[in-house]
Chains A and B, each alone.
Chain A
Amino acid sequence: MICGFCHREIPEETPEKGCGRCGGGCRKVHCPYCGYENPLPSPLLERLLGRKEKKK
């Protein structure tokens, strides 16, 4: 995932899968470089839009 603010690559295994701070099942990933909060597509949405081919 590319960060929407600084456009750097957020590693897949970022400890924050969902920021875990807000209620209501927050689904946002904070960029480790700039703190920007990126929306995490739901599995359903990913399936609907056709999952991007995994790299490597």
Chain B
Amino acid sequence: MKCAVENPVQADQNLRRIFLVGNPNVGKSVLFNALTGAYTTVSNYPGTSVEVFRGTCEIHGVRYEVLDTPGMYSLLPITEEERVARDMLLNERPDVVLHVIDARNIERMLPMTLQLIEAGLPVILVVNILDEAERLGLRFDLHLLEEKLGIPVVGAAVRRRRGLKEIRAAIVGFDPSQKAVFGYAVDLERDISRVTSCLSGQYGLDARAMALLLMQRDESLTELVRSVEKDNFAVVEGAINEIAFDRRVDLHLRISLERKRVCKGVLEGVISEDGQRAIDWAGKLSELTMNPWTGVPLLLLVLYFGLYQFVGNFGAGTIVDFLEGGLFEKNLNPWFIDFCRTYLPWNWLFELLAGEYGIFTLGVRYAVAIVLPIVGTFFIAFSVIEDSGYFPRLAMLVDRVFKQIGLNGRAVIPIVLGFGCDTMATIVTRTLETRRERLIATLLLALAIPCSAQLGVILGLLSAVPGALVIWGGSMAGLFLFIGFLSARLMPGEKPMFYMEIPPMRLPQPRNVLVKTLTRMQWYFLEIFPLFILASVILWAGKMTGALQWLVEVMQPVMRLLGLPGQTAAAFIFGFFRRDFGAAGLYDLQTKGILSPAQLTVAAVTLTLFVPCVAQFLIMKKERGWKASLAIFAVVTLLAFSVGFGLNRLLLLTGVPG
């Protein structure tokens, strides 16, 4: 329960109010402290858990109240913090709004300045962290920017106390009456005026800003308009729906893109780069990663060094050899088996602990010696890539290809997550817009995307036979595209546009990488360890009762069709429990020298395509329903075995890899 005193709105009504807004990490708090000094208070915004800081200051004899709003990226709120920041701006009519931005990322942050100006707010733009930007060789013509935006613009480096005097002067001398209007594309302008002409009520915001937010489907604003317009609301809603239908585009996206275009124009001539300045490597690299001609070779390089060399050769080769071959096979296992044989009089107990599918000899060994080093190195590579900001660029790069398979760049998130764990990725397909996209993504995840552990083990398995690796990779990519292409044709529907804000690229931070890797490994290990133990117990029970033998027997003909030795059936049965478990089983066969290169290739391809693990299947059922998930299961199983069959024939004919 909150009493009224805590309410930040209950300020002295005679005080003029300054609001600080902007993205997180642009120096808002530093500026807040510099303006207000030591005497500040923190209180929760009414009805929320969001904290709002406020303090007072005196500038040239005028007293102001200063409020630091929670970080926000746009006027269209997503998180509770953003909603609070937006509500504060719209409901509490500030006298001055200081929009603090990072000079280094001015192009990314200026669209919000535009939104604030459009909303009719009294904005002063503070271009902060100017010292760092200048160190990077950027020069700003802030007078020109001021002219173009029609609002006061102050350059600052508040951490160095630079620009504070100018900010204070701008606040005191602020004249909110002058106001610029930014023209959008003609068709968009027509839409905007159409919506504004429908609005009849009085709002704290400019009609233009209201129209834009309504067109972008801002929910809380739509509710507000519904209550103010009453009977007239149907007209407003009708107009917006009609516009969206006529344009056949995502209006939200269209407006963001248009705003970006306007910002580009505004910044023309404002920023210049020093002739002598060090080349902006990050920026160059960033462009190279998104251009298809350079992006694809770069992607292959990343895959080669990150996955093949580091995970495949180092993790699955060197480390696994040491742990599995050295530690377990030579030392731990013989000792443990001897120990059990000597002290355990019952065969069933011996089998349970140290037999073929024993808890120690199979479960612990798989988990510790095979899977852990492989996923460990995989997580390192993954965290490095993640921390560098490569993923959103990958999303832009593959957007074109994905459009051909009924998806768009947005689907990169579930697909990339699928390389971590397909189960979670299946849940994340919720973020896709249409039912069709969700279905296609779910099918592709179940079919052609191996999860991290499976991928790692397969890489380790195949890195000994590079030819097999190429065939495996080609089969996965080919099938992914082919099935995607086919399902996009079979399930016609709208193709939504994709647009994503690209964060700046940066050098991975060792500490971040370490924390992420260790975190992922810790949770992964905690999650798989009991399951591996459970799986070996189930397999043990299967062996003792003869059920396993029967199942393997049943699968013999299928294995024969694939040209695989009978023992491989066990690996497929392992795969039901967990994808990585199946792959580890295959690894075992490979180290025992049971599989020829061709058989290894066929087994790896079939196993990767074949079944999602139990968990993934259950989630599929939950997200897509029985009918769709059983259909996916059937399609995937059929495809896996027919591809395996075909591949075997092909390899026998061509003799590759040999």
Contacts and interface: CB of A to CB of B under 8 A. Distances in A.
Given A35-B413, A45-B515, A49-B514, A7 B428 contact: no
Interface string A32-56: 1111110111100100010000011
A40 B519 contact: yes
B80 A11 contact: yes
A39 B423 contact: no
Contacts of B519: 27, 39-42, 45
B78 A32 contact: yes
Size class of the contact patch on chain B: 35 or more
A55 to B, nearest CB: 7
Contacts of B503: 6-8
Contacts of A25: 526
Interface in A6-42: 6-9, 11, 13-15, 19, 21-22, 24-28, 30, 32-37, 39-42
Contacts of B430: 35
Interface string B377-394: 000000100110101100
Nearest to B386: A4
B343 interface: no
A34 to B, nearest CB: 6
B424 A28 contact: yes
A27 B427 CA distance: 15
B387 A13 contact: no
A15 B49 CA distance: 11
Contacts of A26: 424, 523
B389 A56 contact: no
Tell which of B78, B79, B391, B414 has the most Cβ of chain A within 10 Å. B79
Given A6-B500, A8-B503, A37 B81 contact: no
B479 to A, nearest CB: 25
Contacts of A13: 49-50, 80-81
Contacts of A33: 73, 78
Given A11-B81, A13-B80, A4 B516 contact: yes
A5 B522 contact: no
Nearest to B504: A7
B424 A32 contact: no
A55 B523 CA distance: 27
Given A35-B413, A45-B518, A8 B424 contact: no
B71 interface: yes
Interface in B421-447: 423-424, 427-428, 430-431
Interface of A: 4-9, 11, 13-15, 19, 21-22, 24-28, 30, 32-37, 39-42, 45, 49, 55-56
10 contacts: A5-B386, A7-B389, A7-B392, A9-B71, A13-B50, A33-B73, A36-B391, A36-B428, A40-B519, A45-B515
Top-10 shortest CB links A-B: A7-B503, A35-B431, A9-B24, A39-B519, A4-B386, A41-B519, A11-B81, A24-B527, A32-B79, A39-B520
